[in-house]
Structure 1
Amino acid sequence: MLINYKNTSTERFLRYVQIDTQSDAASTSQPSTKKQKDLSRLLVEELQAMGITDAHLDEFGYVYATIPSNTEKTVPVICFCSHVDTSPDCSGAGVKPIIHKNYQGQDIVLPDDHSQIIKLSEHPDLAHQFGNDIITASGTTLLGADNKAGVAEIMDAAYHLVNNPEIKHGTIKILFTPDEEIGRGTAAVDLEKLGADFGYTIDGETLGSLEDETFSADGVKISIQGVSQHPGFAKGRMESALKIAAEIVANLPKETLSPETTEGKEGFIHPVGISGMVENATVEFIIRDFSEEKLHQHEAVLKEIMDKVLINYPNSIAIFEVFEQYRNMKEVLDKTPQVTAYAFEAIERSGINAKQMSIRGGTDGSRLSFMGLPCPNIFAGEHAFHGKHEWVSVQDMEKATETIIHLCEIWEENF
Structure 2
Amino acid sequence: MQHIIDRFISYVTVDTESDPNSDTTPSTQKQWDLANKLAVELKTIGLEDVSIDENAYIMATLPSNVEHEVPVIGFVSHFDTSPDFSGANVKPQIIENYDGGDIVLNKEQNIVLSPGYFKDLLQYKGQTLITTDGTTLLGADDKAGVTEIVTAMEYLINHPEIKHGKIRIGFTPDEEIGRGAHKFDVAKFGAEWAYTMDGSQIGELEYENFNAAGAKITFQGKSVHPGYAKGKMINSMLIANDFISQLPKNEVPEQTTGYEGFFHVTGIKGSIEETVVQLIIRDHDREKFEARKKKVQEITDSINRKFEQQFGGPIATADIKDQYFNMREKVEPVFHIVEIAEQAMKDLGITPLIKAIRGGTDGSQLSYMGLPCPNIFAGGHNFHGKYEYVPVESMQKAVDVIVRIAELTAAK
Question: 5+ unaligned residues in a row in structure 2: which ranges?
Answer: none
Distance 1:286 1:141 in 2: 25
> In structure 2, what is the equivalent of residue 384 of structure 1?
382
Residue pair 1:7, 1:156 contacting (<8 A) in 2 also: no
Residue pair 1:239, 1:313 contacting (<8 A) in 2 also: no
**Match 1:27 to one of 15, 22, 25:** 22
Q: Quote how far apart the aligned CAs of 1:54 are.
A: 2.0
> In structure 2, what is the equivalent of residue 239 of structure 1?
234
Residue pair 1:209, 1:354 contacting (<8 A) in 2 also: yes
- Aligned counterparts, 1:53-64, within 5 A: 53-64=48-59
Say whether 1:175 aligns with 2:167.
no
The code of the aligned residue for 2:60 comes to A
Which shows bigger deviation, 232-241 or 375-384?
A: 232-241
Task: Give deviations 1:215-268, integer Å, cap 9, x for gaps.
Answer: 1111122222333434454321221223212221233332x2101111111100
The code of the aligned residue for 2:173 comes to P
Residue pair 1:67, 1:173 contacting (<8 A) in 2 also: yes
Task: Give deviations 1:80-100, integer Å, cap 9, x for gaps.
Answer: 000001110110000001110
> In structure 2, what is the equivalent of residue 291 of structure 1?
285
Say whether 1:369 aligns with 2:371.
no
Say whether 1:72 aligns with 2:67.
yes
Change in Cα spacing, 1:28 to 1:112, as seen in structure 2 (3 Å) is farther
Identity over aligned pairs, percent: 48
Task: Give deviations 1:335-365, integer Å, cap 9, x for gaps.
Answer: 0011100010111122211121110000000
> In structure 1, what is the equivalent of residue 34 of structure 2?
39
Distance 2:48 2:170 in 1: 15
Distance 1:180 1:18 in 2: 19
- Aligned counterparts, 1:14-413, within 5 A: 14-111=9-106, 113-254=108-249, 256-314=250-308, 315=311, 316-413=314-411
Which shows bigger deviation, 99-108 or 313-322?
A: 313-322
| Paired residue secondary structure (1:165) | coil
Distance 1:126 1:271 in 2: 30
Q: Quote how far apart the aligned CAs of 1:112 are.
A: 5.5
Distance 1:308 1:260 in 2: 27
Residues paired across the two proteins, number: 408
| Paired residue secondary structure (1:404) | helix
The code of the aligned residue for 2:394 comes to D
Q: Quote how far apart the aligned CAs of 1:287 are.
A: 0.4
Distance 1:275 1:209 in 2: 38
| Paired residue secondary structure (2:207) | strand
The code of the aligned residue for 2:103 comes to I
Residue pair 2:48, 2:63 contacting (<8 A) in 1 also: no
Distance 1:208 1:264 in 2: 17
The code of the aligned residue for 1:135 comes to I
Which shows bigger deviation, 230-239 or 315-324?
A: 230-239
Q: Quote how far apart the aligned CAs of 1:143 are.
A: 0.6
Q: Quote how far apart the aligned CAs of 1:310 are.
A: 4.2
Q: Quote how far apart the aligned CAs of 1:284 are.
A: 1.8
Q: Quote how far apart the aligned CAs of 1:175 are.
A: 0.3
> In structure 2, what is the equivalent of residue 3 of structure 1?
none
Residue pair 1:7, 1:398 contacting (<8 A) in 2 also: no
Aligned-residue RMSD, C-alpha: 1.6
Task: Give deviations 1:76-120, integer Å, cap 9, x for gaps.
Answer: 111100000111011000000111010121011103554221111
Distance 2:107 2:120 in 1: 24
Distance 1:151 1:158 in 2: 11
Which shows bigger deviation, 169-178 or 47-56?
A: 47-56
Q: Quote how far apart the aligned CAs of 1:312 are.
A: 4.4
Q: Quote how far apart the aligned CAs of 1:130 are.
A: 1.2
Distance 2:67 2:73 in 1: 16
Which shows bigger deviation, 98-107 or 305-314?
A: 305-314
Q: Quote how far apart the aligned CAs of 1:308 are.
A: 4.0
Distance 1:97 1:351 in 2: 29
Distance 2:301 2:321 in 1: 19
State the TM-score, normalized to the length of structure 1. 0.95
Distance 1:72 1:271 in 2: 55
Change in Cα spacing, 1:112 to 1:94, as seen in structure 2 (3 Å) is farther
The code of the aligned residue for 2:328 comes to K
The code of the aligned residue for 2:185 comes to D
Distance 2:10 2:150 in 1: 13
Residue pair 2:58, 2:172 contacting (<8 A) in 1 also: yes
Distance 1:114 1:133 in 2: 24
Residue pair 2:213, 2:282 contacting (<8 A) in 1 also: yes
Distance 2:47 2:108 in 1: 42
Q: Quote how far apart the aligned CAs of 1:301 are.
A: 2.9
